[in-house]
Structures are given as structure tokens and as C-alpha cells.
């Protein structure tokens, strides 16, 4: 989906850079190869883009202008209607096990506005600094997510956990990732990555963590999973 | 950034954190935070714990493996961004080639994070 948007907007001087937040590049590789992207497609095993740009979920993105200034800080970004979310709506819940049906019922509450976002990015591609969606440096900083001691410690724990996991000691990573989750519960990339390694099918509850995708999304309400993009 | 010791070369610290160490202190874009004299260790190296203290960067230690992770700064703006200038980001592509975000200066860039999970 990003590739199609990039082909359309690249003639206007807009480049897309996609970054896969995956501790295992091989998990992301099939998607990258299927997309055959012409734009830079990068791998970020330690989720460093979270701490550099303030990402807390996927897809999240920032706009950077020709001079290297951020003109929109981290926010949910949508290149079009998400086929996964759309497929959720077509499934007959009565055909599912009760637990799966409950999960899907919750997931259907996830909201996004791909049409609104596409209009914004097209406006920026065409009008550049004159786009009404371009924000001043002060506004960019005002909208950037707060980062206190807990969020910064969480970033360090996540990175340390990834380092140990990559070195072959997965068990040693888990306490660091648990601490990252405790300190920064609104960061979904730290949580979903860790849950997925234990339970790839459902990101469900395992002995490793006191949380799961379904439990945590119910706590906040799935309708709040992606905050609305403020133009 | 991952550290196996708490005194590192200036270039290592700068590449890992995005902060430049100058005579004015630790600088990012137009912001400079003065550093105490003991931030500079012997043989041109930096004392990470001193600079981390000044910038509010957490140092998390794993004793069993003898490594530290240095987290991002917290004391300048208290927000995920310290300035509106995009930080440098160097990451590999899927063939292992390093790519620097700054190589796209002169173009508008939409930087997007996604994941397989």
C-alpha cells in the first residue's frame, strides 16, 4: 500500500521511508519482498525509532520537510483502508469460538480515517510548506508526546532486552521487556512485539507477561487504540 | 544505545545518542546543555554517567551480562522530541546496507513505522 502511494506522490518530491519494528528481520522480510518497494525499506530491531520520534504503535509516522524539520510529529498514519481491519468486518462471529468472537468484536471497534489522512498527505505533497497541515516547530513540540523518566527508562529496557534476545538469551530479555511494559503501558510496539514472540497466533496471555493484547485493549477501549489525527 | 563500558569515544556517544559534544556542552540542533569538567574522562573519552545525569538519560544495567542501555533525554523539553529538527536515524535495509535519513534532505519525507506482528 505504501508503494502505490509512493509511486503517486514521488513526482511531487515526496519520498516514503518505511521502518519495520521487528526484532526478527526474517518475520518482516516476506512482506518487504512482496511489496517490492522502490523507497527505502529499513529494519529497526531495537525499536529505536520509538525513542527518536515518539512512535508508540504501528502504523505511526512523521512528516519531515526538505530542510529536515519535522512538520508533523508522531501520529497514526494510513495509506488506505487496512485490509486486515476490513476483513474483520466480513467474518460471521457466530462461526467462531466464543473467545475468538469476543476478540474480534473488540477489534472491530478500532477506528481509523484513511480517507482523511490521504487527503492530508496529498495536500502536503502538492503544496509543501503552504499546506494547511504543516505545523510550526513550536506546535510540533507541543504535540509531541510527553516523555518523562518512566518512558525513557522503558526505552532503555526495551533496547537492552532486544540486545540480550539477539545475543541468544531470550529468557534474559523477558524481565527487561516486562519492565518496559510496566513503565510505558501506552507503548504498543514494546508490548505487541514481546507478546508475539511468546504467542504468535493471538498475542495472548502467557507465563512470560502479566498482560495480553486482548486484556490491554479492553482496558483502554479499542476505539482509543488509534487516537484521532488532529489536522 | 548499548554500552559495555561507561567511558566511550566522543564519536560513539554522538552516533548513539544524536547529541554532539562541543566546547559549549552537549548540543542538539540549537540547544546546548553545559557539561561539568568531569564529563570528559582521560584519553579523550567521555564519562557517560555524568552526561546522562545532565541530560536526564536513564542508564539501565544488566549485571548478568555486563551491559548497559542508555535511554533518551528527559530534562530538556520533557517530550519525545527535543527540537523540531529531525534526529539522524541510521538503520540497515533488508540487504544489510546502512541508510541514513539525512541522505533525503531536499525532499519531503514521510517516515512510517510498521511491523510484521
Q: Work out whether strand B67-70 and strand B59-62 pair parallel, antiparallel, or are unpaired.
A: antiparallel
Average pLDDT, chain B: 97
| Distance (Å, whole) CA B96 – CA B102 | 18
Return the pLDDT at A85. 78
Set of chain A residues whose Cβ sits within 8 Å of the Cβ of B84: 69-71, 137-138, 140-141
**CA dihedral (B32, B112, A188, A162) positive or negative:** negative
pTM: 0.96
The segments of chain A whose pLDDT lies below 50 read: none
| Distance (Å, whole) CA A144 – CA A54 | 7
Angstroms from A3 CA to nearest CA on chain B:
12
Return the pLDDT at B50. 98
Please give the share of chain A, as a percent, with pLDDT higher than 90. Answer: 85
Above 90 in pLDDT, residue B12?
yes
State which fold the A2-78+113-143 domain adopts: Glutaredoxin (3.40.30)
Contact B94, B87 (CB under 8 A): no
In terms of C-beta density within 10 A (0-12 exposed, 13-18 middle, 19 or more buried), how is residue B74 classed?
A: buried
For chain B, the domains span 2-83
Task: Give the one of A71, A146, A160 whose C-beta lies nearest to B67's C-beta.
Answer: A160
Strands across the sheet containing A70-76: A41-43, A14-20, B108-114, A60-64, A70-76
Whether residues B81 and A159 touch (CB distance < 8 A) is answered with: no
**CA dihedral (A62, A161, A165, B20) positive or negative:** positive
Please report, to the nearest 10 degrees, the dihedral formed by the alpha carbons of residues A208, A209, A213, A215 taken in order: 130
Above 90 in pLDDT, residue B85?
yes
Amino acid at each position: 500500500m505504501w508503494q502505490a502511494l509512493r509511486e503517486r506522490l514521488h513526482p511531487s518530491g515526496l519520498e516514503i521511508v518505511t521502518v519495520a519494528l521487528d526484532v526478527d528481520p526474517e518475520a518482516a522480510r516476506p512482506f518487504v519482498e512482496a511489496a517490492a518497494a522502490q523507497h527505502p525499506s529499513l529494519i529497526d530491531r531495537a525499536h529505536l525509532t520509538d525513542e527518536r520520534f515518539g512512535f508508540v504503535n504501528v502504523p505511526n509516522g512523521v512528516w519531515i520537510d526538505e530542510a529536515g524539520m519535522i512538520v508533523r510529529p508522531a501520529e497514526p498514519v494510513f495509506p488506505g483502508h487496512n485490509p486486515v481491519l476490513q476483513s474483520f468486518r466480513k467474518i460471521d462471529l457466530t462461526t467462531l469460538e466464543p473467545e475468538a468472537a469476543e476478540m474480534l468484536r473488540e477489534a472491530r471497534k478500532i477506528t481509523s480515517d484513511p480517507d482523511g489522512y490521504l487527503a492530508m498527505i496529498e495536500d502536503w505533497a502538492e503544496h509543501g510548506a503552504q499546506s494547511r497541515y504543516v505545523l510550526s516547530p513550536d506546535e510540533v513540540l507541543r504535540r509531541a508526546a510527553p516523555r518523562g523518566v518512566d518512558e525513557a527508562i522503558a526505552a532503555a529496557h526495551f533496547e537492552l532486552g532486544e540486545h540480550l534476545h539477539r545475543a541468544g538469551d531470550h529468557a534474559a530479555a523477558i524481565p527487561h521487556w516486562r519492565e518496559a511494559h510496566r513503565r510505558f503501558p501506552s507503548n504498543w510496539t514494546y508490548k505487541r512485539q514481546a507478546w508475539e514472540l511468546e504467542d504468535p497466533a493471538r498475542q495472548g496471555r502467557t507465563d512470560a507477561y502479566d498482560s495480553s493484547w486482548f486484556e490491554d485493549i479492553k482496558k483502554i477501549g479499542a476505539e482509543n487504540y488509534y487516537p484521532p489525527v488532529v489536522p | 544505545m548499548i554500552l559495555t563500558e561507561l567511558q566511550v569515544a566522543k564519536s560513539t556517544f554522538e552516533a548513539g545518542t544524536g547529541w554532539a559534544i562541543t566546547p559549549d556542552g552537549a548540543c542538539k540542533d540549537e540547544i546546548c546543555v553545559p557539561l561539568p569538567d568531569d564529563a570528559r574522562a582521560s584519553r579523550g573519552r567521555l564519562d557517560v554517567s555524568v552526561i546522562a545525569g545532565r541530560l536526564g538519560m536513564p542508564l539501565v544495567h544488566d549485571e548478568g551480562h555486563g551491559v548497559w542501555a542508555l535511554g533518551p533525554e528527559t530534562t530538556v523539553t520533557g517530550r519525545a522530541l527535543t527540537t523540531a529538527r529531525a534526529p539522524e536515524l541510521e538503520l540497515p535495509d533488508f540487504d544489510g546496507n546502512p541508510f541514513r535519513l539525512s541522505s533525503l534532505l531536499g525532499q519531503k519525507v514521510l517516515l512510517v513505522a510498521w511491523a510484521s506482528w
